[in-house]
């Protein structure tokens, strides 16, 4: 669950260090409020805490934009960012395939970042985290129909975004028209 929480936070916040802070803050908050847990789905409860923490951080960041003192960027291509296992090239993967995979990952992340917050959360929970609609509804604290509509709109926007950047996608991922 920790990995899923981190992945959700990283994709919502687009910054690995902020995501780490959000997950840590969420787990501490969840620990303190555990006596209030009355549901039967702990994963959805924890993911809701993570999502709410990320939303709070995004609102705070918009309200008080920070000017970095150090010339270190939060860019995912930044050499100072710790690599994940998914970032390392496979010994069986060609350099071209690795470059295409990385470019596709950046394109998808940019597409996710372009979505409105609630649509992004729905897409992340269902399509990336693999939650079913009921779990996503519990996590987002909304109705099943709302999850479905946000997911449909988010998928549509992602489809349009990816279609508009089609030249960036490897042949394997392109739709035949």
pLDDT value at residue 87: 55
Identify whether 156 is part of a domain: yes
Do residues 62 and 99 share a domain? Answer: no
The CATH number of whichever domain residue 24 belongs to comes to 1.10.1740.10
**Phi, psi (deg, nearest 5) at residue 29:** -60, -45
Identify whether 169 is part of a domain: yes
Range of the domain at 49: 1-66
Considering its fold, how many domains does the chain have in total?
2
Identify whether 71 is part of a domain: no
Across the chain, which has 177 residues, the per-10-residue mean pLDDT values are: 85 84 89 83 87 85 61 49 54 76 83 90 89 89 93 92 72 59
Do residues 129 and 176 share a domain? Answer: yes
Give the C-alpha separation, 13 to 57, whole Å: 8
Last residue in a domain, options 49, 66, 83: 66
* pTM of the full structure: 0.58
Torsion, Cα of 90, 4, 9, 69 (10° steps): -50
Do residues 107 and 174 share a domain? Answer: yes
pLDDT value at residue 59: 81
pLDDT value at residue 88: 57
Cα R_g (the chain), whole angstroms: 17
pLDDT value at residue 166: 65
Closest to 45 (Cα-Cα) out of 53, 35, 37: 37
Do residues 6 and 53 share a domain? Answer: yes
Identify whether 11 is part of a domain: yes
Write a three-state SS string for 111-138: HHHHCCHHHHHHHHHHHHCCCCHHHHHH
Give the C-alpha separation, 3 to 85, whole Å: 12
Do residues 104 and 35 share a domain? Answer: no
Do residues 151 and 115 share a domain? Answer: yes
- 62 Cα distance to chain centroid: 18
pLDDT value at residue 145: 94
Identify whether 77 is part of a domain: no
């Amino acid at each position: 669950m920790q990995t899923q929480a981190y992945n959700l936070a990283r994709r919502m916040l687009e910054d690995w260090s902020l995501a780490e802070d959000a997950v840590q803050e969420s787990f501490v908050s969840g620990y303190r409020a555990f006596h209030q847990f009355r549901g039967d789905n702990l994963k959805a409860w924890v993911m809701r805490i993570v999502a709410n923490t990320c939303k709070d951080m995004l609102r705070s960041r918009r309200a008080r934009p920070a000017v970095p003192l150090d010339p270190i960027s939060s860019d995912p291509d930044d050499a100072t960012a710790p690599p994940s296992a998914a970032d390392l090239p496979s010994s069986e993967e060609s350099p071209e395939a690795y470059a295409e995979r990385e470019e596709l990952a950046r394109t998808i992340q940019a597409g996710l970042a372009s979505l409105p917050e609630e649509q992004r959360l729905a897409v992340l929970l269902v399509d990336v985290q693999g939650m079913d609609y009921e779990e996503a509804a519990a996590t987002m604290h909304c109705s099943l129909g709302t999850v479905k509509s946000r997911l449909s709109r988010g998928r549509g926007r992602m489809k349009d975004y990816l279609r508009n950047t089609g030249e960036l996608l490897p042949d394997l991922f392109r739709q035949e028209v």
